[in-house]
Amino acid sequence: MIDSAGRQNPASRPRPSADDAALPDLPDVSIVIAARNEEAHITSCLQSIFDAEPFAPRFEILVVDGDSSDGTAGLAGKFAASHPEVLLFINPHRFAPQGFNIGIKAARGNWIFILGAHSRYDPSYFRLCLETARRTGAENVGGCVVVEVREEGLTGTLAKAVGSSRFGFGASPFRRQDPPEGPADTAAFGCFPRRTFETYGLYDERLVLNQDWELNQRIRRAGGTVWLNPAIRLQYFARQDPRVMMDRAYDTGLWVAYLWTLGPYTASARHAIPAVFTAAMLVPGVNIAALAAHQATALAAAVAQAVRFGDARLLPTLPPLFLGIHAAYGAGTLKGLWDIISGRSPVSLHATIEYLQPETHGAGQPASSPAAGKPQPRRRS
């Protein structure tokens, strides 16, 4: 089914028959992009895929629009009009895990990439992901994020400095530029063999944020491997407004707490540190020492980033931004813990993770009309 914006309802995508998997025009790779209000980035994201080094004889791109209120769907539809590999789907739930799952269930490839529209991908990204996945047999393979900005200036430099500092958003190995290749606790986005979603399940739709972390921990807990290769690179366009950074930190911290209700396997010490710091700031006699220790560490991190970016303006501006981000993250986590204790957590403990069914491999293209009940002819991608 296709709506007025040119988006396709995944419910109209015909289920496969036993003969479908043998057809030669099925794509080798499916690329799933969940997007909402990404009109500033969706076109460059899609173009970076077509500018990539050859990585598969056939591929498909499934853009799942989360009911965007801007021009995201229109731009993706315009791009799809000249690129038959691109299909546009509806995500009425708006949130990322539902969008990813819609795309995964509609995907036909043996390899499934999960991408974000807020990024652009290096020419070697897809080739290196597939080569690494085949070499290691890992259940998820990812690389490193290089933080970029749309507008240069102090706010742009601050965004890049915060996003790449171990004291800021760069605590995860995939946000640093020098991690060793090997097993990791998580990786940016990812390249998954289809069997990963058949064996370990799809994204947990209870989680508005941090669903990628939960899936990777679920894989690792069951004996699977998440593999990080620093040669694999993508550019992530950071939010430059400090207030937006702090709002995002608060939301992430809030959903970290909700995430913990799913089980100990989701916990990480680095996610709890901001909450410990924020709690310490509320204790008389402890708060001054906590603040002094924080700002001393923040200043050391600012010196390192000022040298790295060649910008002395980071020395007076980065420490208070670190403070605001960490306090917001910690406040979010403390609020989430209070919600859990008081029984107001939005995360149900009784939800069931859905698994990709093996028989859905090779599903056909969407039907051309709502009344179509038979698989339609496929177009080569």
State phi, psi for 212 to the nearest 5 degrees.
-70, -40
Residue 21 pLDDT exceeds 80:
no
Integer-rounded Cα radius of gyration of the chain? 22
In contact, 238 and 149? CB cutoff 8 Å: yes
Q: Residue by residue, what is the 3-state secondary structure of 285-332?
A: CCHHHHHHHHHHHHHHHHHHHHHHHCCCCHHHHHHHHHHHHHHHHHHH
Residue 379 pLDDT exceeds 50:
no
pLDDT greater at residue 9 or residue 170:
170
Average pLDDT rounded to a whole number, residues 38-46: 96
In contact, 27 and 363? CB cutoff 8 Å: no
Cα distances (angstroms) measured from residue 324 to each of 135, 276, 278, 291, 292: 42, 15, 10, 12, 14
Residue 362 pLDDT exceeds 90:
no
- Would you tell me the crossing angle of helices 211-221 and 96-106 to the nearest 10 degrees? 60
Q: Please tell me the distance from the alpha carbon of residue 62 to that of residue 273, in angstroms, as a whole number.
A: 37
Q: What is the mean pLDDT of the chain?
A: 87
Residue 43, pLDDT score: 97
* pLDDT band, very low/low/confident/very high, at 158 (cuts 50, 70, 90): very high
Q: Please tell me the distance from the alpha carbon of residue 185 to that of residue 44, in angstroms, as a whole number.
A: 29
* pLDDT band, very low/low/confident/very high, at 85 (cuts 50, 70, 90): very high
Q: Please tell me the distance from the alpha carbon of residue 62 to that of residue 32, in angstroms, as a whole number.
A: 5
In contact, 363 and 106? CB cutoff 8 Å: yes
Q: Is 43 exposed, middle or buried (0-12, 13-18, 19+ CB in 10 A)?
A: middle
Residue 372 pLDDT exceeds 60:
no
* pLDDT band, very low/low/confident/very high, at 177 (cuts 50, 70, 90): low
* pLDDT band, very low/low/confident/very high, at 349 (cuts 50, 70, 90): confident
Is the pTM of the predicted complex or chain greater than 0.95? no
Residue 377 pLDDT exceeds 70:
no
Q: Please tell me the distance from the alpha carbon of residue 54 to that of residue 128, in angstroms, as a whole number.
A: 11
Query: Could you tell me where the DSSP H helices lie in the chain?
Result: 42-50, 72-82, 96-106, 125-136, 154-164, 194-199, 211-221, 242-260, 269-280, 287-309, 314-341
pLDDT greater at residue 258 or residue 172:
258
In contact, 100 and 17? CB cutoff 8 Å: no
Average pLDDT rounded to a whole number, residues 304-321: 96
